[in-house]
Amino acid sequence: MSRIAEMYQNDESIIEGVRNYDDAAVSSLYKKHKDYCLRFMHSKYDDEQTIQDIYQDAIIVFIENIRNKDFKLTNNSSIQNYLNSICYNQIKVRFNKKNKPVLVGDDFENHNSYNENINDWFNDVNDIKSERMKVIQEELMLMKEKGQQCFELLKHFFFANRTMDKIAQLMSYTNADNAKAQKWKCQERLKKQVLNRLKC
């Protein structure tokens, strides 16, 4: 068994690792539950590509929930059960709006494999279509590719929701205010680049 697999054997350690932005925990989460979840979905649908997409999205939803909310798995629930549940509900949404999917075969007949009441999914789908959003995304990627400190600084704040004190500590600023002033400059620079591109 690899060191990573040893580290992330149970749900708690995976959740903790994902919450701490540990890449290995994400890999472990993705691989550990994939086969079962795919088989679970395959018991109803054959569209391999869609099933793969749903699984990947389900993992992302789970990761975002772990990182952004005070997320806890309910009693008697496991990561596998949670993933099955949101995959199950997605299948319902995408393929079978009227009829409830009938999952058959293997242990899927045991409905403890999923919980119909867990139907978490992306709730920002309608917010992501603007041209400005696309440009911001692209500019951020450029920032990242250039290896700019700004990208890290903004990511710590806007994505990882870290406090300015923590960011100052992580990025070696003398204090939180300095970090905040630098963050604002980065934000403004990005804003100018975005506006320039939108004007063109």
Partner 1 sequence: MLNLTIQQIEQIRNYFIATSVEEKYALQNSISPYFLKGFLNDLKKLFINAPDNETKFISIAKSMGAGQHIELLKEIQQQYYTHLAEMHLNGNNIEDIEQLLKAKNQSFLYEVSYIKELQLAFILNEREELKKKFMELDKADEIKPAEIEQAFKHIERSKLKQQFKDLDELDATGTSMVAEPLLEYGNKPIASKAVAPVYNFNWKSLAIAAGIIGLIITTAVFLNNHKKAGNDLAKENAGKVKKVKIIDNNQLKNRQNKIEEVLANNTLKYNSLQLTVFKEASFGFSAKEEKITVQIHVVNERVAVLEQLLTDGLLDSTVNSPILNAIRNQIDSLKLLNSKYLFSGNILSIYGDNISKPTVYKLSDQYYVRMGRSIYAVKKTIAPQSFKMVSDKIILDKIDKIEFQQQ
Report the residue from 41, 54, 63, 66 that binds partner 1 according to the rule CB under 8 A. Answer: 63
Question: Does residue 59 belong to the site contacting partner 1 (CB under 8 A)?
Answer: yes
112 vs 181 by CB, closer to partner 1: 181
The token pair at 63 is 């990761």
Nearer to partner 1, 26 or 73 (CB): 26
Kind plus residue range of the DSSP H or E element containing 95: helix 79-95
Is 171 a binding residue for partner 1 by CB under 8 A? The answer is no
Please give the size of the binding site for partner 1, defined by CB under 8 A. Answer: 36
The torsion defined by the Cα of 160, 56, 79 and 5, in degrees rounded to 10, comes to -80
Does residue 111 bind partner 1 (CB under 8 A)?
Answer: no
Q: Which of 140, 150, 153, 167 binds partner 1 (CB under 8 A)?
A: 140
Single out the residue of 88, 99, 90 nearest to residue 43, CA to CA: 88
Q: Is 192 in the site for partner 1 (CB under 8 A)?
A: no
Q: Applying CB under 8 A, does 121 fall inside the site for partner 1?
A: no
Torsion, Cα of 68, 150, 188, 60 (10° steps): -30
CA 109 from centroid of its chain's CA atoms: 29
**Nearest alpha-carbon partner for 60 in 32, 111, 26, 21:** 26
99 near partner 1 (CB under 8 A):
no
Cα 80 from Cα 123, distance rounded (Å): 22
Least separation in angstroms between residue 159's CB and partner 1 is: 4
Give the contacts of 128 (CB within 8 A, at least 6 positions apart). Answer: none
Q: Any contact of residue 66 with partner 1 (CB under 8 A)?
A: no
102 lines the binding site for partner 1 (CB under 8 A):
no
For the chain, state the CA radius of gyration.
20
Instruction: Note the residues at the interface with partner 1 (CB under 8 A).
Output: 23, 26-27, 30-31, 52, 56, 59-60, 63-64, 124, 127-128, 130, 132-133, 136-137, 140-141, 144, 154-155, 158-159, 164, 176-177, 180-181, 184, 187-188, 190-191
